[in-house]
Structure formats: structure tokens, C-alpha cells
Structure 1
Amino acid sequence: MFGLGRLRILEAVQRLGSINAAAKELKMGYRAIWGRITASEERLGKALLVRNVGGSSGGGSQLTPFAESLMERFRTLHRTVEIESDALFENEVAARIALTEPPKKTN
């Protein structure tokens, strides 16, 4: 529904102002990006982009306030998961090292 890939797509659309430009930057097909965005919108039940049809003004896309909020909440959650998983890993590694190290000799 939403993960790092969707976040990168929306960040590119936000920065570049179009799905086409985002597709080029991410080296993905336009249809692939369109499909991922549409699938997320259907699962979430909310629009992520406001799409402006091309023509003389050139068209483009911009994020909805919901998409911007979703991105920020995802970033916060992702940072929390990284911090917690790093701490768990460090504790696990420290415990394993303590179990495998020979006892220290005292004089």
C-alpha cells in the first residue's frame, strides 16, 4: 500500500511536478508509476495526486495534502523503526560477543 518505493515516487513527483519527469528520474516507466500511485489511492481510498491534464499549459501533477501528511507520517515511522532495530541489533550483537568471548584473566 505504501512503503519506501511509493515514498520515493511521491517525493519525485512533488519535486519535479509531473509523473513523467518522476518516471524519467527514477528510471521507471510512466505506466509503472501511474499504476503504483493508482493502486495506493484505491487501497487508501484517498487521492494522492491532483493531476492537471496537458495541453498548452503542459499539465503536471501535485501532491494532495493527504499525500504530504502520509509521507511525513511514514518518514517518522520509518525513522522510529530504524532507531529501534539498530538498538535491538546492537544489543543482540553485544550479547553474542559476550557469550563467545573467553573470560578475561585477572592478575
Structure 2
Amino acid sequence: MPEVKGKQLFMRSKIWIEDEGGAVVFGLGRLKILEAVHRLGSLQAAAKELKMSYRAVWGRIKATEERLGSPLLVRSKGGASGGGSQLVPFALELVEQFRKLHKNVVVQSDILFKNGITIKENK
């Protein structure tokens, strides 16, 4: 990686998907939410793990569902067996494809930064 005055520099990038109006449809935050729901089987448990309110988690999922025009979760109401949420196949595919996209952007950005930038010291 390039260095300036002995300090190593690193490329950082953040990507997300927007709709035509500029509203966030999907990004790293929503990825983390869906991964937690998938792993834990519950919006409430995901919210707790992510240190977010249930309302915030639910709001982001609902907004993404509305913007995509497709559900992300199958929800079951509480009761004797307790409630829960599972990702629908579309959501599982979205998570997998976004992971791949993000990894590719990070790897390619690092390669371009490492090989394509020359930093000259200001005098």
C-alpha cells in the first residue's frame, strides 16, 4: 500500500443500492440485519445483538421490502412456541449476491489503490 511520511494508507469503500429517487434499498447495515435474523431466527434477537431498537430494525426491513416490491421475511406470531422470522429465498439470494459484490469492490479497490496511485510529498 502507498505510504506518506512512513504512514501506510489503506483504501476504504462503502457501497449500497439506491432506487431512482436516491432512497437506500440495501447496504451493509441491512446486510447485517438480515444475516442476524437468518442466524437467530428473530427480529427481536437481531435487534438486540446489533444494539438497535426493534422498531429501527423493522423499519429498515419494511422500507427495503417496499422499495424492492418483494418480501424479505416470513414472520410467525408469538404464542406457545414463540414467534420468529425466516428469510425468504429471494432475501437469501440478495444477501449472497451483495456479499459477493461488496467483496469484489473491496478487493478491486485495494488492487487499484495499491498499483495505480503515486503520492508525491507536498513541499
State the TM bucket, normalised to the shorter chain: 0.7 to 0.9
Counterpart of 1:87 in structure 2 is 111
Deviations 1:71-107 (A, max 9, x none): 00001100110111001111234x33xx66xxxxxxx
Question: CA RMSD for the aligned pairs?
Answer: 1.1
* Corresponding residue of 1:14: 38
> Rg bigger for which structure?
1
Of 86, 91, 95 in structure 2, the residue corresponding to residue 62 of structure 1 is 86
Gaps spanning 5+ residues in structure 2: where?
Answer: 1-24
CA distance, structure 1, for counterparts of residue 58 and residue 49 of structure 2: 14
TM-score, normalisation: structure 1: 0.86
Report the equivalent of 2:69: 45
1:4 aligned to 17, 25, 28, which one? 28
2:116 partner letter: E
Q: For residue 26 of structure 2, give the secondary structure of its aligned residue in structure 1.
A: coil
Identical aligned residues as a percent: 66
Output the amino acid matched with 2:50. Answer: L
Q: When the two structures are superposed, what TM-score results if normalisation uses the length of structure 2? A: 0.75
Q: How many aligned residue pairs are there?
A: 97
Q: 2:54 aligns with which of 22, 25, 30?
A: 30
Report the Cα distance in structure 2 between the residues aligned to 1:84 and 1:15, rounded to whole angstroms. 29
Q: Aligned letter for 1:5? A: G
Aligned match for 2:100, one of 73, 76, 94 = 76
* Residue-by-residue CA offset, 1:27-76 (whole Å, 9 max, x unaligned): 00000000000000000111100000111120100000000000000011
Higher relative contact order (CA 8 A, sep 6+): 2
